[in-house]
Each structure stands twice: as C-alpha cells, then as structure tokens.
Amino acid sequence: MARFPAARRLAALLLALLLPLPALAQGPDSEWQAYESALVDGARHAGYWQAGWTTFYAGSLALNAWQASEASDRDDRYDARVGVVKSALALGGMFLDRQPHPAALDELQAGEPGDIAGARRLLEAVAEEERRRRSLEARLGSLAVNTAAGLLIAVGDGRERDGALNFATGMLINELQLQTQPRQATAAVNRFQPARVSMGELRLEGEYALLVGPNQLGVALRY
C-alpha cells in the first residue's frame, strides 16, 4: 500500500512540470490546429520545392539546348542532346505531378472547423502520399530514363565511362529531388506514439508526444 502515495507524488510532479506547456492541452481545437499547421507548413514547403526544382530543370533544359548546337566538342553536343530529353521529361513531371499539400490545405479549410476525424483522415492520406513519393516505385521512372540515357552514351556512342557518369549523376539528382520533398504530414501523424505506464498496481495506456517549442521542452500525455 505504501507504493501508492509515492505514485501519486510522482504523477503530481509530472503534471506540475507539464502544465505550463500550452501545447499540452490536447483538446479538439488544439489537435485540429496542429493538423492545419502541418498542412500550412507543407503547402509552403511544397511551393518552395516546386519553384526550386522547376527553375533547376528549366535552366538545365536551356543550357543543354544551347550546348547541343553550340558546343565545340562533338561529345559534348551528343551528351547535351541526351540531356535535353532528360531535362524536358523532368520539367514536364514537375508540372504534371504536383505535391498534395496545397490541395489538402484547401480541402481542410473548406470543411467544417474542428472536424478532428476528417482532419486526421486527410493528414493520413497526405502522409501516405508522402511515403509513396519516397518509395522504390517513385524511383522507377528515373531509373528507366537514366538507364536509357546512360546506354545511349555508353553503347550508342561508345563511351562507357561517360555513360556510367551520366547515369549516376541523373540518379543522384533524382534522389535529392525525392528527399527534399515535404514530409510535414508524416511528422504530424507520427507525433503521438503508444505509451503504457505502470506504477505499482496502477496501469495506464495512452499516447505520448514530445513537445518542442521556443524556450520549452516537454512531453504531452493523453489517455
């Protein structure tokens, strides 16, 4: 029986440490706001990502197009013609395959404020799309394009080393593009993790989340 006063004191101490954190109040409003904030940040990140990579591929297309006709070296002209095709495909992909965050944010804001279940389903769908965009399947298109480009140079033009370098460079750029995509929805969905706490005969099951903010660090519990 002596264990319970100690357990109550420990619980009171944890509560006293956590209460000053405003994010601890995991009510419906704060949870909905957390989901909205994740989509706002994701949409902003998606805009920067879209603009940055579109500019990169447009510049690469223009440079390759110029080198395809103006480069003094015959090999450079050949490689540039291959580069024109790769850059054009990549640039087209930027326009055709948009990030889901802006549309999801519009859907959330157009719905009923405070709809936690709907917001959670929306975040889970966006998080699933984030994972898909980093999966092996997302790399297959780039693998096919860069393999074909490398073979054109290595076999079609008889320059194996240059073909391998073209392939490796293209795959590296594609990997950077994938890894710099937004992932705010995944972070929001994974924010709360299962937790089981036992204090003597008292057992609690719920969820916990680490809370990090300006000048504060804590743990939120909900059960």
Question: Residue written as tokens 């500019």?
Answer: 55
pLDDT for res 143: 96
CB atoms within 10 A of CB 121: 11
Question: Residue written as tokens 């889901």?
Answer: 100
Strand partners of residue 198: 203
Mean pLDDT of successive 10-residue segments in the chain (223 residues)? 52 45 49 86 96 97 95 93 96 94 92 82 93 94 96 93 96 96 88 62 60 47 54
- pLDDT per residue as tens digits for the range 168-205: 999 999 999 999 999 999 988 877 655 566 666 666 66
* CA distance linking residue 29 with residue 154, whole number of Å: 59
pLDDT for res 33: 82
CB atoms within 10 A of CB 217: 9
Residue 178 half-sphere exposure, CB side, CA atoms within 13 Å?
19
Query: Can you give the length of the chain in residues?
Result: 223
pLDDT for res 25: 40
pLDDT for res 192: 61
pLDDT for res 199: 61
* CA distance linking residue 162 with residue 74, whole number of Å: 13
